[in-house]
Amino acid sequence: MSVASDDLTKPVPPKRRLALKPHLIQDKIFYGIARSAAVGAVLIVALILGYLLFMSWDTLAQQGPAFVFGSQWSAADPENLVFQIGPMLWGSLLIAVNGMLLAVPMAIAAAYFIEFLANSKIAKIATMVVDLLAAIPSIVIGLWGVGVFTPVAAHWAKLLNENLGFIPFFNNTSGSFVNSPFIAGWVVAVMIVPIITSVTREIFSQLDRDVINAATALGASRSSTFMKVILPTSSGGIVGGALLGLGRALGETVAIFFVLNLSFEINWVEVVESRGGSIASMIVSFFGAASPEEVKALIAAGLVLFVITLLINWLAAVIVAKAQPWRK
């Protein structure tokens, strides 16, 4: 009897595929539910995209590229409809970037405190409070923004203008500091701090403590460990979290609706000026009184916003995957 497998004359048995599908009935049910949920999610996105495309086709065909880049909106004359969302699109981005500049440092600091500085009791409470912030309805944040925060932020904006007015960002010619992208940016920041904090905290908690100990054992201070080891190691995850926040910031509607003066006179960078744009808020404010043609244009605006947020989410996924090649 030969036990060695070097007998090359022996015929190879036929290959058969090993079943991936479940056999047990309960496994089949589970498989079915899981698969339909996954397929359903993709289907819903595709259907929404399809519907938006279908509804906005007329507008897009009629207005051309100017729909995205132009800055005029006139639905009064049915013979000469002009729908261009340039200032709104730019305004959405400006507010979102503004919000990110405020929210990302806050969120990183909060996550660092919770994960590395606070004792477990305080960390638990802090986590709970930050998560609670995410649970506040945006209408409430909007009301807080207009009723409580606007006077405060307008004062800050005025100080910035008085002291740093030579920088174009803080230029203000109208003399009014309310309803500005600056204030909208703050309101958005409050809304996206929880998600970025939560993602960043998760990333920090997965860091190899041994690597941080190594830095400490090499005589690093807390701050240099943070800047040179913790941040670079978790940058991919933090960027991903920040882009998730950016997606939310771009889509934010009601809160911005309360605190921003929508204007089709484009505001490029003057964040403390009392005018700005936001696609989502524009849709909300025009929808009620819109003619059927205008509704189509608003849906087209929604499509643009949807595509941009999809792109950002995709970018987030790519960056998170690429930035951490050592994670398998």
In the complex, what is the shortest distance from the CB of residue 117 to another protein, in angstroms, rounded to a whole number?
A: 11
R_g of the chain computed on alpha carbons: 26
Distance CA 168, CA 49 (A): 38
CB of residue 107 to another protein, shortest distance in Å: 21
Which residue in 53, 55, 66, 220 binds another protein (CB under 8 A)? 220
Q: Does 127 bind another protein (CB under 8 A)?
A: no
Neighbours of 186 (CB within 10 A): 24
Task: Please state the separation of Cα 275 from the chain's center in Å.
Answer: 23
Which one of residues 41, 47, 214, 321 is an interface residue with another protein (CB under 8 A)? 214
- Site residues (CB under 8 A) for another protein, limited to 136-155: none
- The residues, ordered by sequence, that sit 6+ positions from 31 with a Cβ below 8 Å of its Cβ are 21, 22
Binding window for another protein (CB under 8 A); candidates: 20-28, 159-167, 208-216, 314-322: 208-216
DSSP labels for 301-324? Answer: HHHHHHHHHHHHHHHHHHHHHHH-
215 scored as a contact of another protein (CB under 8 A):
yes
Q: What whole-number distance in Å separates Cα of residue 133 and Cα of residue 195? A: 10
Strand partners of residue 74: 82
Tell me the closest approach of the beta carbon of residue 231 to another protein, in angstroms: 9
Is residue 232 a contact residue for another protein (CB under 8 A)?
yes
Nearer to another protein, 126 or 191 (CB): 126
Among 229, 282, 305, 320, which residue interacts with another protein (rule: CB under 8 A)?
229
Contacts of 87 (CB under 8 A, 6+ apart): 71, 263, 264, 265, 266, 267, 277
Q: Is residue 221 at the binding interface for another protein, with CB under 8 A as the rule?
A: yes
Q: Judge whether 67 and 59 are in contact, CB under 8 Å.
A: yes
Applying CB under 8 A, does 326 fall inside the site for another protein? yes
Of 87-95, 180-188, 214-222, 310-318: span binding another protein (CB under 8 A): 214-222
Nearest 10 degrees: Cα torsion 306, 312, 317, 320:
-160
CB of 220 to another protein, least distance (A): 4
Among 16, 119, 166, 292, indicate the residue that binds another protein (CB under 8 A). 119
State the residues that interact with another protein by CB under 8 A: 119-120, 208, 210-211, 213-221, 224-225, 228-229, 232-233, 325-326
